[in-house]
Amino acid sequence: MADFETPKFREYPAVPLIKQDEMAGGGPFVSRAEFDTDLGYPGELPEDWKEKTLEKMGDLLGRYRSLQVFMDSCIKCGACTDKCHYFIGTNDPKNMPVARQDLMRKVYRRYFTFAGKYFPKLVGAVDLTEDVLDEWYNYYHQCSECRRCSVFCPMGIDTAEVTMAAREILANVGKAQKYSNQIIQKVYKIGNNLGLPGKALKGILEDLEEEMEDECGVPVKFNMDEVGCDALLMTPSADFFAEPHIDGLIGYGKVLHELGITWTVSSKASEAANFGLFIGSYDNIQKVSMRIREAAIELKVKRIIFGECGHAWRVAYSFLNTLAGPFDFLDQNYPIPQHILEVTYGALEDGKLRMNKAENDHLTMTFHDSCNVARASRMGDTPGGQFDIPRAVIQASCNNYVDMDADTIKDATFCCGGGGGLLTDDLMELRVKGALPRMEALKEVTEESGVTNIAAICAICKSQFTKTLPYYGFEMDAIMSVHQLVSEAIVMKGSEQEKELDGVEEDEDAKSED
Amino acid sequence: MSAFYALLLTVAFLVLIIGLTKKIIQYSRVPAPLKIPVTPAPLTKGGVAVRLAKEAILFAALFRSNKWTWLFGWMFHMSLFIVLINHLRFFIKDVPLPLVLLQNVGEYAAFTMFIGLAGLLIRRIFVARVKYISSPSDYLWLILLMVIALTGIVMRFVSHTDIIAVKEFSLGLLRLNWQTLPTDFPLMVHLLLVAVLMILLPFSKLLHIPGLFFAPTRNQVDNPREERHIAPWAAELDAEKNKVQPK
């Protein structure tokens, strides 16, 4: 399948021994100048790269308290050293969170601290060379910015903040990553990550409407650029396109139809994802976020609802108000923005949705908490709602549900292995190896509790699992959308499913059989 | 010799206070432009205070992370805290009753402090992952603190120092009225290393002391949807955005 070995499941998941330089290399494909310049980067290594690097580093140290404090406050206690899925999967010591931070901290100490200026050897400070930058490029693209290490750090140091800063610095000296930058450029030029033009999107949505009509006998609408709807739906473009994502989109459509909430997507902002986060660029996160504001204004909606996407929900929940707010023109009776799971959960609580769980009886489900939802956002009114609400919705949709090992879920969840801008084929080895801890936890519940499928609420997780599950001996379609389960179980008023369930249809069938 | 020590300790104290203050001012001035609390996070400021207190007093995250590191680290820090309180007697003329009472237990804190530090040092040397991330300074800090604890133990339990004279000296430091310091070897080493510690603290990883409280991942309230958070430098970009308004 590839020129690397899939890690073996460990009988006793002990902390692995370190293997120096196991993942040394050139990192993912470097961006082309044309993608960079559109994003405000130079696109090539400038002659004065060293000054530029230090200048940008100083700039970021002055802009981000997180970076400044985190550069100083690490005590090298080692608490994080066995917490990163990439370290567990690759055993490369530079994938230990503290070692990853140290790649930058060593340079910080050399140029920005008294101790490092005068006693570099004593405090492990190093000179900035092109080799150092190359090492940054390689290892800061082996971090999925999932924040698991920060949960365990006694100082609250979040490696994601360091990784984002490093990528922003690298991009400023012509070493940006192709995958992320090309995608952001597509968002600016076409409107979404996949480069799906408005016309094609319209076609897909019309097909979906027809399909729904045929299947359920109910006119479930999938609007695009429709002015005056209740809600703007922001969802990852994978939802328009691929399995199991699109089954989730169908689920949102059915729920919103049943609740009488009219909604539309925007061809201009047909993408919830915001890769500006991954490259650590405030300017680009904001520019991508502004599309949402513009679309909401143009389409005259009252609410903004987000579909299943992990980092998009982080940006939406935590940053959107800051970056594109204030949203005083929207209906203040609803959370701004709102997650589709909050909508579905609220409706279930109020008894507004009829669910036939038996539709999913052939499944035994487990749930993968997506890192950005788990550790960088919330749902509902109480801390931890981001764990309880998806589980409640799944359990309202199916009868068989089992959680994975407690050390691998909720705020201790392991990244799928493909987050943070690493969901690219040129990082396949890293992605497969980084998936190891999640795959082990999944294996355990399949063997002990007969789990058949795993649900997720993130387009990246879903795509990553579709690719990596087969490496570990699972079926690729074992990964499902949460709203796919909802879609299977929901019984819409006036639908074929309702008739079937209530026996109206049965009478007619009985007659014809006679 | 007394004059040298008096000067050294006074300078060390000033370096500590000025250095630390400068760092704290820096940390409070650098903005945190985005809401990045690690969730689940408290929804109120009171909740944040509890979260930080749990980290500062109980080392909650470390406990979750690694029981051995927590045990040794917590033992060392709590012991050091008791030891420091015990040392207040050298700076207060009439020692209040609570401090007198504390001394009976407190004087043994030096032992637990030493054991905690030794545990951390052993871990640093023998756990390959921790060894990999250690610089010379990481070992030296532990050794320095161990020697400080050890010389303290020696003065209290083995070869007694004239603590009445030491108290005269320390009270004199406060009034800039320098007194004679006993010239016992353990005391000389003890005070020299304490001065080194105070001088280096603002330039070292010991900045984790203020750093703990300034981590936006732990000190932010989880309320981004309810309250708009905006940093000064981001307000500039914000002006651009205000052009996009509903008509």
Q: Is B38 on the interface with A (CB under 8 A)?
A: yes
The pLDDT value given to residue A1: 46
Q: Which of A70, A79, A319 sits opposite B34 (nearest CB)?
A: A319
Phi-psi region of B70 (alpha: psi -120 to 50; beta: other; left: phi over 0): alpha
3-state secondary structure B97-134: HHHHHHHHHHCCHHHHHHHHHHHHHHHHHHCHHHHHCC
Whether residues A162 and A264 fall in one domain: no
The rounded distance, in Å, linking the Cα atoms of A140 and A92 is 13
Which residues does A473 contact at the CB level (< 8 Å), separation at least 6? none
pLDDT at A512 over 90: no
Segments forming the whole domain that contains residue A321: 184-489
- Distance of alpha carbon A359 from alpha carbon A364, whole angstroms: 12
Last residue of a domain, one of A176, A200, A229: A176
pLDDT score of A2: 58
Tokens read off for B139? 């070992």
Say whether both A143 and A77 belong to one domain: yes
Confidence label for A477 from pLDDT (cuts 50, 70 and 90): very high
Which residue on chain A is closest to B44 by alpha carbon? A383
Q: Which domain holds residue B67?
A: 2-22+44-222
Residue A513 pLDDT exceeds 80: no
Number of other residues whose CB lies within 10 A of the CB of residue B163: 15
Kindly state whether residue A365 falls inside one of the protein's structural domains: yes
For all residues of chain A together, what is the average pLDDT? 95
The residue with tokens 């608490």 is A79
A227 and A272, same domain (yes or no): yes
| Residue B143 CA, distance from chain mean position | 16
Residue with tokens 């999913």: A360
A17, A77, A105, A106: best to mutate for the B interface, most B CBs within 10 A: A77
Picking from B124, B225, B246, the nearest residue to A329 by CB comes out as: B246
Nearest to A46 by CA among A164, A201, A143, A171: A171
Task: Indicate the pTM of the whole model.
Answer: 0.95
Cβ contacts of A290 on chain B, cutoff 8 Å: 241, 244
Distance between CA A249 and CA A255 in Å, rounded? 10
User: A95 in a domain, yes or no?
Assistant: yes
Question: Residue B19: what pLDDT?
Answer: 97
Same-domain status, A61 and A81: yes
Q: Report the distance separating Cα A306 and Cα A288, nearest Å.
A: 15
H-helix or E-strand containing A348? helix A340-349
Domain for residue A2, yes or no? no
Contact pairs from chain A to chain B, CB under 8 Å? 222
Chain B positions in Cβ-Cβ contact with residue A124 (cut-off 8 Å): 135-137
CA dist., res. A271 & res. A288, Å (int): 9
Q: Last residue of some domain: A176, A192, A209?
A: A176
How high is the pLDDT of residue A38?
Answer: 87
Residue A149, CA distances (Å) to A75, A90, A160, A413 in order: 14, 16, 9, 11
pLDDT-derived band at A213, boundaries 50, 70, 90: very high
Domain assignment present for B58: yes
Q: Are residues A165 and A242 in the same domain?
A: no
Continuous segment of H or E residues that includes residue A339? strand A338-339
Let me know if residue B132 belongs to a domain: yes
CATH number at residue A62: 1.10.1060
Digit-coded pLDDT (tens) for B105-125: 888 999 999 999 999 999 999
Using the Cβ of B133 and the Cβ atoms of chain A, whether some distance falls under 8 Å is answered with: yes
- In a domain, residue B32? The reply is no
**Number of independent structural domains in chain A:** 2
Binary contact (B130, A294; C-beta < 8 A) = no
pLDDT in tens, A354-412: 999 999 999 999 999 999 999 999 999 999 999 999 999 999 999 999 999 999 999 99
Per-residue confidence at A296, pLDDT binned at 50, 70, 90? very high
Q: Are residues A338 and A463 in the same domain?
A: yes
Q: What is the tally of structural domains in chain B?
A: 1
In which residue are the tokens 């699992």 written? Answer: A465
CA separation for the pair A436, A417 (Å, rounded)? 8
Task: Give A306→chain B minimum CA distance, Å.
Answer: 14
ipTM (interface predicted TM): 0.95
pLDDT score for A514: 43
DSSP-based three-state secondary structure for B50: helix
Q: Could you tell me if A38 and A60 are in contact, meaning their C-beta atoms sit under 8 angstroms apart? A: no
How far is the CA of B211 from the CAs of A71, A123, B50, B215, in angstroms?
10, 18, 17, 6
Asked whether residue A21 carries a pLDDT value surpassing 70, the answer given is: yes
- The structure tokens listed for B4 are 């040298």
Which residues of chain B have a pLDDT value below 70? 237, 239-243
Which among A20, A71, A76 is the top mutation candidate for probing chain B, defined by the most B β-carbons within 10 Å of its own β-carbon?
A76
Q: Supply the CATH number for residue B124's domain.
A: 1.20.950.20
- Give the residue from A155, A176, A197 where a domain finishes: A176
